[in-house]
Amino acid sequence: MATIAARSSSSAVSCSRPARNSVQVRAALKPSVKAAPAVSTAGANQMMVWQPINNKQYETFSYLPPLTSDQIARQVDYVVGNGWIPCLEFADASQAYVSNASTVRFGSVSACYYDNRYWTLWKLPMFGCTDPSAVLTEISRASKAFPQAYIRMVAFDNVRQVQIMSFLVQRPRAATDYCELSKRSVA
């Protein structure tokens, strides 16, 4: 035991600190950040401006052209295959967008307050649905019942308790709010 104490005391003596005046302080600075290169006039001429007139978008896939029946069927397969809960909602064209005219507030605006985001349910959500054709049948029935309404399919994840996706399956036949991809931006 005495040997261990002697060794530890001798090692403590040999580890001496340097004097304060002999330590040099070195600043560790981040490398300098380079400024973004200036955009040439030719590059600036290639920039586009969003077209705000008749260019309204809805939910997931709104930036794409309207989905075909086959594309909708593949999305329904994906939703059902993942075990998510499909649900159909519809709204008249006048109620489909958020606007001050169609908003009723019962107090001050706060976080997570959704103005006019909820559309009318088409029946109940399809809990336990394992057949994509049943969802497609309901989409067809909703379209026949409300041909002049926007209809969207919403998918919910019951494990994470969140909305996973939502996309339009029908726009009104007389809708003029869709803008072709080539006309969505102007130079």
Q: Are 71 and 60 in contact (CB under 8 A)?
A: no
Q: Tokens 């052209």 — which residue?
A: 65
Structure tokens at 132: 């994509």
For position 185, what pLDDT does the model report? 75
Helix (H) or strand (E) holding 150: strand 149-157
Q: How many CB atoms lie within 10 A of CB 169?
A: 23
Output phi, psi for 162, to 5 deg.
-140, 160
Structure tokens at 59: 């939910």
Domains of the chain by start residue, with CATH:
67-98+118-179 (3.30.190.10)
- pLDDT tens series, the chain, 187 aa: 444 444 444 444 455 565 666 656 565 555 666 666 665 666 656 677 777 777 776 666 766 778 899 999 999 999 999 999 999 999 887 777 765 555 555 666 555 555 556 789 999 999 999 999 999 999 999 999 999 999 999 999 999 999 898 888 998 888 777 677 677 777 7
**pTM for the full predicted model:** 0.63
Q: Tokens 């309204």 — which residue?
A: 56
